[in-house]
Amino acid sequence: MLTTAKARGLADLPPVQSDSLLQLIALCNADQRAEKIDVGVGVFRDGQGRTPILQVMKQAEAILRETQESKAYLGSAGDKRFAELLRPIVLGEHADDERIAGLQTPGGCGALRLGFELIATANPRARVLVGAPTWPNHPPIINAVRLEIAEYPYYEKGQGSIRFESMMHGLSSAQAGDVALLHGCCHNPTGADLDEAQWREVARVVCERRLIPFIDIAYQGFGRGLEEDGVGVRMMLAACEEVIVAQSCDKNFSCYRDRVGSLFVKTGSAEATATAMAHVSQRAREMWSMPPDHGAACARIILDDAQLHADWLVELAAMRDRINAVRQRLASADPRLAFIGRQFGMFSMLPLAKEQVLKLREDEAIYMADSGRFNVVGMSDAQIDRFTTCVVAALDG
Ligand SMILES: Cc1ncc(COP(=O)(O)O)c(C=O)c1O
Task: Determine the residue of 134, 229, 250 to mutate for testing ligand 1's pocket, defined as the one with the most ligand atoms within 8 A of the Cβ atom.
Answer: 250
How many angstroms separate the alpha carbon of residue 216 from the centre of ligand 1? 8
How many angstroms separate the alpha carbon of residue 375 from the centre of ligand 1? 14
Task: Tell me if 108 CB under 6 Å of ligand 1.
Answer: yes
Which atom of ligand 1 approaches the CA of 134 most closely? 1
343 contacts 155 by C-beta, under 8 angstroms: no
Task: Tell me if 109 CB under 6 Å of ligand 1.
Answer: yes
The pLDDT, as a whole number, for residue 78 is 97
**Could you tell me the fold of the domain covering 19-53+316-396?**
Aspartate Aminotransferase, domain 1 (3.90.1150)
What is the secondary structure of 322-372 as a DSSP string? HHHHHHHHHHTT-GGGGGGGG--SSEEE-S--HHHHHHHHHHH-EE--TTS
The pLDDT, as a whole number, for residue 17 is 81
Cα Rg of the chain, angstroms: 22
46 Cβ partners below 8 Å, 6+ apart? 52, 322, 377, 380
Active site residue 199: no
Q: Which residues of the chain have pLDDT under 70?
A: 1-6
Select which of 246, 251, 293, 296 is catalytic.
251
Active site residue 288: no
Please list the helix, strand and coil fractions of the chain in percent, rounded to the nearest 5, in that order: 50, 15, 40
Residue with the nearest Cα to atom 12 of ligand 1? 218
The arrangement of secondary structure in 57-306, i.e. its CATH architecture, is 3-Layer(aba) Sandwich (3.40)
Which atom of ligand 1 approaches the CA of 260 most closely? 10
DSSP letter at 259? Answer: -
Among candidates 178, 184, 134, 172, which has minimal Cα distance to 154? Answer: 134
Active site residue 305: no
Three-class SS of residue 130? strand
How many angstroms separate the alpha carbon of residue 248 from the centre of ligand 1? 7
Among candidates 129, 159, 154, 156, which has minimal Cα distance to 142? Answer: 129
CA–CA distance, 78 with 89 (Å, rounded to integer) = 18
Which atom of ligand 1 approaches the CA of 188 most closely? 1
Which atom of ligand 1 approaches the CA of 248 most closely? 10
Task: Tell me if 345 CB under 6 Å of ligand 1.
Answer: no
How many angstroms separate the alpha carbon of residue 58 from the centre of ligand 1? 23
How many angstroms separate the alpha carbon of residue 390 from the centre of ligand 1? 29
Task: Tell me if 252 CB under 6 Å of ligand 1.
Answer: no
Burial of 343 (0-12, 13-18, 19+ CB in 10 A): buried
The pLDDT, as a whole number, for residue 20 is 80
Task: Tell me if 218 CB under 6 Å of ligand 1.
Answer: yes
How much is the pTM? 0.96
Which atom of ligand 1 approaches the CA of 110 most closely? 11
The pLDDT, as a whole number, for residue 18 is 77
Task: Tell me if 131 CB under 6 Å of ligand 1.
Answer: no
CA–CA distance, 327 with 344 (Å, rounded to integer) = 8
What is the secondary structure of 56-89 as a DSSP string? HHHHHHHHHHHH--------TT--HHHHHHHHHH
The pLDDT, as a whole number, for residue 16 is 87
Active site residue 381: no
CA–CA distance, 47 with 384 (Å, rounded to integer) = 10
Select which of 216, 229, 258, 293 is catalytic.
216
Among candidates 376, 377, 357, 379, which has minimal Cα distance to 368? Answer: 357
Three-class SS of residue 153? strand
Task: Tell me if 42 CB under 6 Å of ligand 1.
Answer: yes
How many angstroms separate the alpha carbon of residue 334 from the centre of ligand 1? 30
Domain map (residue ranges) of the chain: 19-53+316-396, 57-306
Give the Cβ contact number of residue 307 at 10 Å: 10
Residue with the nearest Cα to atom 14 of ligand 1? 42
The pLDDT, as a whole number, for residue 3 is 54
Select which of 83, 218, 284, 365 is catalytic.
218
Give the Cβ contact number of residue 208 at 10 Å: 12
Task: Determine the residue of 21, 90, 188 to mutate for testing ligand 1's pocket, defined as the one with the most ligand atoms within 8 A of the Cβ atom.
Answer: 188
